[in-house]
Structure 1
């Protein structure tokens, strides 16, 4: 099964923030692939404290709210598969929530730049990305698991956010596999 088929199968579960089911679908597809050094991601997760992530997002929203009424937040990882030296996420704010159906609005943020937030806990996997050629279907599927781990982190942080009902969207750079919490 290719990446797009797996992502399509997982998307309904992603829309319900059911990350365990998303992971299950990706892992099932990976069992059909030959063993890979990327198998390490099956046991990896980000170790950032969700409360610290929430503090960062709260501070970002507080600053941006002084400029405009924030209607949505978007966060994405950097291109981690081609930048294994440091994994991080960026934050973007919008005056209006464009919704999950058509996400073209995400490229037109209104916020100022915010310092990148380093992601921790997958440094061993970063080394695997640095030492291996990408391109296999398994590598793409493992990358999808990394994105799901990031989305789980943002979802876990949501509990600690003081931003009211402002939706928070999350994914990896250049991924259309977008979660909303």
Structure 2
């Protein structure tokens, strides 16, 4: 049932959000010269997939988790995208393809071994990663791997259709700060 909702809402979001996506791409071209950001992430059952987002950091920024990145790497437009969570819109493509869900544990990088091990031990990696979830609406990010994995596990154990919509609505309403970057909160 959740996969059906994911597919339907991702398709709707991409179709009706196309004008916004195009405007953000054009602005992003002026901001960084390369508005779309692609990165290998840990998917369901540890399978790699290419996450697609709007670029919020300078092109030469090291590929690290946001909490390890330098605040100076974020562009002014990137700061706006992160604050409004518009940088996540292209991930609707990942949802449509079945690599992600709208609700699930945020996909991490393969070099975040502590988080991967914590998640693996709790069965979190058996689920599709998501754009938002319990951790995100409660401002829990990847800087606290054990707490994040525990929160992801709790969310997955209690994920109902009602909770699915609750996390989506909380995110759209502005709950949660997104991925933190030191000095940019």
TM-score, normalised to structure 2, is 0.28
Name the structure where helix makes up a greater proportion of residues.
2
Greater RCO (Cα-Cα under 8 Å, separation 6 or more): 1
Q: Which has the larger radius of gyration?
A: 1
